[in-house]
A and B are shown apart, each in its own frame.
Chain A
Amino acid sequence: MTNRYEITFDALKKRNEAAFIPFAVAGDPDPDKSEEIFRAYIDGGADILEIGYPFSDPIADGPVNQRASQRAIRNGMDHEKFFKLVKKLRSCSDIPVGILLYANTILHLGTDLFCRKAADAGIDSILVADMPPEESEVLQSSMEKYGIGRVFIVSELTPQDRIKYICSQVDSFVYVVSRLGATGTDLKFSDSISGTISRLKTVTDKPLAVGFGISSAEHVRKVTQCGADGVIVGSALVKNIELSYKNANFLDKLREQVFDYKTATRIR
């Protein structure tokens, strides 16, 4: 269904690599810099982009991403600028682009219109942080209509029968959270992830991308070794955006950070 994802995951599999998937909030710290940040991600070697739509009350996100949302909102990010940003990125790259957002954002614009615009902008998948598959019938039919891929989350607490149900609803990739709680940066790496990946592999052959709390290249390496098909890093990058976006060389630094993460996905 989502060709870009299939092409990417197939190619990486042949090279025995995991996909590296960096995340940032669209419009953070402002629309122009945000575009440059995603370009730096692509230049640094990102295989897939995960773009957050800023929301005032992001209950699945920790303080780092919430502050990023607030900066983006304050500096004018809205539907129109969001789709324009994605379109620009799409015009210069063929890598899959997934978006992560909250249900109210889609409802506000209207589900069908949102999906039409998303498809038009070149978005490959949508993950709604506060919309489990049971509540997403309407959204899923719009996504199908416009050829947008579905992503849902699985955690270590998800019972096996629910894992099966969720995997049956997914087509782009399964988003596996590596630990409980909101997004954020962790010093310690959660060991439960290898168990969750193994449980998933017994029921699905869909790509598994792991995120939440993954901060260092060492974490990325470990997750790759656990058998993940993709590794998502968000807060650790967003934190650096927050700390250094006023510095002259901050894009170079981000590019290097992404390059290091990407390198860590090559070691199986």
Chain B
Amino acid sequence: MKKDVTLKGYFGRFGGTFAPETLMPALNEVQHAFDAFMKDQKIQSEFKDLLEKYNGRETPLYFASRLTKKLGGAKIYLKREDLNHTGAHKITNALGQALLARYMGKKRLIAETGAGQHGVATATAAALLGMECDIYMGTVDMQRQRPNVFRMNLLGTRVVPVDSGGKTLKDAVNEAMRDWSKTVRTTHYAFGSALGPHPFPTIVREFQSIIGKETKMQILKVENRLPDTIVACVGGGSNAIGIFTPFLDDKDVKLVGVEAGGCGLDSNKHAVRLTHSDLSRTGILHGSFSYVLQDKNGQISDTQSISAGLDYSGVGPQHSFLHESGRVDYTYATDTEALDAFKMLCEYEGIIPALESSHAVAYAVKNAPLMPSGSIMVINLSGRGDKDIFTVADYLGINI
């Protein structure tokens, strides 16, 4: 039998369109609309204008001199995605998808959120474009990210609590997909990460790759050469794929993805899907074939991480491909390492990073000292940490 020519979306053997039939016409529609959207000069210039004037792009590439001095070794640059409007890289994709939704004539946006950053970003884009918006969020995440729940409410969005399974990101995606299969005529599901069925991993990558494009231009301007290492945290993997994509063909640039090590690999409480392939295996979750944490019977495992945004059992399919092809190195940082890095960035640079991004910083703390002075490491500082102060205070045993 012949494959429908409209269905692509494979990265090597990963990806695909493993969706319920009720979503298939919608996925087809999104793909065609996205192709047209990317070629439509008028909408592209509106998008560019919003990114500049509303979002605050381009974001700075900042030389972290005190952190560099403290660690001794590679020069550390921070790609300041935390300075985006709403405090993380997520807004870039949310604006893109909201415009795409409007382009398709959809009046309502839905999305899943873990840390709440994508939820806030989608709520923001919905308010900006005058669209209705519902955000699905696990009740565990609602508790630990309550500032973001309130922000979404302020923006006129309804946050729908998800109380099934581990009550985190995975469960929120389940509910959002169910909603979408019912409301697909009027609603666009704005996936927040580079996962889900085709074409979402591609759409999110295309919108986020502006991070890498800017980084490349900026580093060439100040250093007149490409960095030796680029590091980003990987939950679903959108900020990482965003900064990696423009560098994939620059073989001398080492690309590193940092997963959530949670309480450590022995504890079984983590979200390490790629670093140690024996901990997970390939499978299908939320519409694509990728590495997935699962038990001996093929049931999807619950994960654990101090950062809600990395607390996910699957990973974007392109990351699985980049892992197997060897182009990107995947490693992990534990909760404790991420917190130490969090504190170090606060104290040495005056920047409170998101706990997600702190995982990437933790890699730098460990590895920058091992690199020769004069070498260059770029950390994708994907978000700011204001949302995390309650979690950090809890961990430090401080009542705020």
Contact = CB atoms under 8 A, between A and B. Distances in A.
Interface of A: 54-60, 62-63, 66, 70, 73, 78-79, 102-105, 107-109, 129-135, 137, 140, 152-155, 157-159, 162, 165-166, 169, 177, 180-182
Contact of A104 (B4, B164, B170, B292): B292
A182 B178 contact: yes
Interface string B279-318: 0011111110100101001111000000000000000000
A56 B168 CA distance: 13
Nearest to A55: B299
Given A137-B3, A182-B182, A132 B17 contact: yes
B101 interface: no
Q: 7 tightest CB-CB pairs across the interface, nearest first?
A: A108-B298, A181-B182, A153-B21, A56-B299, A103-B284, A60-B20, A182-B178
Given A57-B165, A57-B170, A104-B285, A130 B292 contact: no
A181 B312 CA distance: 24
Contact of B285 (A57, A157, A166, A169): A57
Contact of B22 (A57, A62, A180): A180
Given A66-B164, A107-B283, A109-B298, A169 B1 contact: yes
24 contacts: A56-B300, A57-B285, A59-B20, A59-B178, A60-B178, A73-B299, A102-B284, A103-B284, A104-B285, A108-B281, A108-B283, A130-B18, A130-B284, A130-B287, A134-B17, A135-B17, A137-B1, A155-B21, A157-B184, A157-B185, A180-B181, A180-B182, A181-B181, A181-B182
A171 to B, nearest CB: 13
Nearest to B164: A66
Interface in B1-24: 1, 3-4, 7, 16-22, 24
Given A56-B299, A104-B300, A108-B294, A131 B164 contact: no
B287 A57 contact: no
A54 B298 CA distance: 10
Contact of A182 (B181, B289, B300): B181
B20 A130 contact: yes
Contacts of A182: 178, 181-182
A228 to B, nearest CB: 17
A86 B26 CA distance: 36
Interface in B217-267: none
Given A59-B177, A132-B19, A162 B25 contact: yes
Contacts of B285: 57, 104
Contacts of B284: 102-104, 107, 130-131
Contact of A60 (B1, B25, B181): B181
Contact of A157 (B4, B25, B287): B25
Contacts of B86: none
A153 B165 contact: no
A181 B183 CA distance: 7
Nearest to A212: B22
B21 A181 contact: no
A179 to B, nearest CB: 8
B174 interface: yes
Given A56-B300, A60-B181, A129 B25 contact: no
Contacts of B185: 157
A189 B27 CA distance: 27
A173 B91 CA distance: 45
Most buried by A among B26, B174, B282, B284: B284
A208 to B, nearest CB: 14
Contact of B24 (A60, A105, A162): A162
Given A104-B284, A153-B22, A169-B1, 4 more contacts: A57-B171, A104-B283, A165-B4, A181-B183
Contacts of A66: 164, 174
A110 B1 CA distance: 21
A66 B182 CA distance: 17
A22 B37 CA distance: 45
Contact of B18 (A55, A56, A131): A131
Contacts of A181: 22, 178, 181-183
A109 to B, nearest CB: 7
A229 B308 CA distance: 48
Interface in B147-200: 164-165, 170-171, 174, 177-178, 181-185
A70 B300 CA distance: 12
A78 B297 contact: yes
A63 B297 contact: no
B24 A132 contact: yes
Contacts of A166: 21
B104 to A, nearest CB: 14
A182 B298 CA distance: 22
Contacts of A54: 299
A131 B18 CA distance: 5
Contacts of A132: 17-19, 21, 24
A130 to B, nearest CB: 5
Given A130-B284, A152-B21, A153-B20, A104 B294 contact: yes
A58 B299 CA distance: 10
Contacts of A105: 298
Contact of A56 (B4, B165, B178, B287): B165
Contacts of B3: 134, 137
Contacts of B298: 104-105, 107-109
Most buried by B among A73, A134, A153: A134
A171 B283 CA distance: 27
Contacts of B171: 57
Contacts of A108: 281, 283, 294, 297-298
Contacts of A180: 22, 181-184
Interface in B78-96: none
A71 to B, nearest CB: 13
A1 B284 CA distance: 29
Nearest to A165: B4
Contacts of B7: 134-135
Contacts of A57: 165, 170-171, 174, 285-286, 300
